[in-house]
């Protein structure tokens, strides 16, 4: 044990006493960040991802400032160097995100994919956390009515499992979003139609949309509320406060594809998307739309806050 402690402390021997305090903070922070990253490869939790992004941002800023002082690249105070590297990382990440948005704009990936009925019944991953969620949904009085899927890339599908309450007034969409590391994140959307022709939507989607919704949509997006019962409680509180629900009469597939068509039309009319005639030369998303996506991407990634869609 003493040998292990000495081996861990030995790399710090070259630092002056005033440099040790930042190092003793940075090293544990790096270990925690790596552990969070490994943990989140299994959970795919947006909340853990937010925590780790802030931690990583602080590590990069603090580490850059510490290296600059240690190698005597500058005589500026630590706080000034920390701020410089902090802002520098923001700029670099913004450039990366802007390039990613541009790539998405010019790529063939569908922005509003069309869904079909999934008859394989394989949309629910066989993992304890997903099976627990399904049991919670059933316990709350929801019954599955339809399974859907949309191909977003070759062999990669966005899968949706749709549930409704026994009185057909509240519809739940459970969307399984594939992740780059092979994990899956689940997003929930509760929707209710009202006697006034409004659509009341409460969801916890964490991917940036930044576009426009129809005027009769009243959307409350809560990316950090991952618990089903918490989201359901919020949705029912909104209904009690203002609206009288009516039963759904159309099939989930018809409604979802109609939503996609309506959203594409509205966002083209309002300038978020460019006309189809300009897609080949300029991409699909306008410059204003790209700025809106970048802004919402930042607020979602670091604050868990979506744009205000009301």
Residue 4 domain flag: no
Give helix then strand counts, H and E, for the chain.
Answer: 9, 8
Residues 83 and 130 in one domain: no
Residue 8 domain flag: no
Residues 189 and 250 in one domain: yes
Q: What is the pLDDT of residue 3?
A: 47
Residue 1 domain flag: no
Q: Average pLDDT for residues 190-201, to the nearest whole number?
A: 96
Residues 297 and 206 in one domain: yes
Residues 44 and 140 in one domain: no
Which of 14-18, 122-126, 174-178 is the least confident region? 14-18
Q: Average pLDDT for residues 184-200, to the nearest whole number?
A: 95
Residues 82 and 120 in one domain: no
pLDDT at 137 over 60: yes
First to last CA, the chain: 59
Residues 224 and 245 in one domain: yes
The C-alpha atoms of residue 208 and residue 213 are separated, in whole angstroms, by: 13
Largest CA distance in the chain: 73
Residue 111 domain flag: no
Question: Nearest 10 degrees: CA dihedral of 128, 133, 138, 144?
Answer: -100
Residues 28 and 161 in one domain: no
Closest CA to 201 of 262, 243, 138: 243
Asked if residue 172 lies in contact with residue 178, where contact means CB atoms within 8 angstroms, the answer is no
Q: 3-state DSSP call for residue 153?
A: strand
Residues 282 and 213 in one domain: yes
Percent of the chain residues topping a pLDDT of 90: 71
Residue with more model confidence, 123 or 7: 123
Domain encompassing residue 54: 13-106
Residues 141 and 253 in one domain: yes
Asked if residue 260 lies in contact with residue 113, where contact means CB atoms within 8 angstroms, the answer is yes
Total number of domains in the chain: 2
Q: What is the pLDDT of residue 9?
A: 46
Residues 84 and 120 in one domain: no
Q: What is the pLDDT of residue 121?
A: 62
| Tens of pLDDT, residues 259-290 | 999 999 999 999 999 999 999 999 999 999 99
Beta bridge partners of 194: 245
Confidence of residue 294 (pLDDT cuts 50, 70, 90): very high
């Amino acid at each position: 044990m003493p040998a292990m402690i000495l081996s861990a402390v030995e790399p710090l021997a070259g630092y002056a006493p005033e440099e040790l305090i930042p190092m003793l903070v940075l090293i544990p922070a790096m270990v925690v960040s790596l552990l969070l990253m490994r943990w989140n490869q299994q959970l795919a939790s947006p909340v853990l991802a937010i925590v780790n992004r802030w931690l990583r941002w602080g590590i990069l800023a603090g580490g850059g400032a510490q290296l600059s002082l240690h190698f005597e690249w500058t005589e500026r105070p630590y706080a000034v160097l920390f701020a410089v590297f902090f802002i520098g990382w923001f700029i670099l990440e913004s450039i990366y995100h802007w390039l990613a948005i541009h790539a998405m704009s010019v790529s063939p990936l569908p922005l509003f994919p069309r869904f079909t009925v999934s008859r394989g019944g394989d949309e629910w991953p066989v993992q304890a956390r997903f099976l627990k969620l399904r049991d919670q949904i059933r316990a709350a009085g929801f019954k599955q009515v339809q399974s859907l899927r949309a191909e977003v890339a070759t062999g990669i599908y966005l899968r949706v499992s749709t549930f409704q309450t026994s009185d057909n007034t509240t519809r739940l969409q459970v969307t399984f979003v594939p992740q780059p590391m092979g994990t899956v994140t689940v997003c929930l959307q509760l929707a209710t139609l009202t006697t006034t022709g409004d659509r009341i939507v409460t969801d916890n989607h964490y991917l940036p949309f930044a576009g426009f919704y129809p005027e009769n949509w009243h959307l409350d997006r809560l990316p950090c509320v991952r618990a089903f019962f918490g989201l359901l409680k919020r949705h029912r509180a909104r209904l009690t406060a203002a609206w009288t629900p009516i039963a759904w009469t159309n099939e989930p597939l018809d409604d979802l594809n109609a939503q996609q068509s309506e959203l594409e039309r509205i966002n083209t009319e309002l300038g978020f998307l460019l006309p189809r005639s300009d897609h080949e030369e300029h991409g699909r998303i306008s410059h204003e739309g790209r700025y809106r996506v970048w802004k919402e991407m930042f607020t979602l990634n670091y604050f868990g806050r979506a744009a205000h869609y009301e």
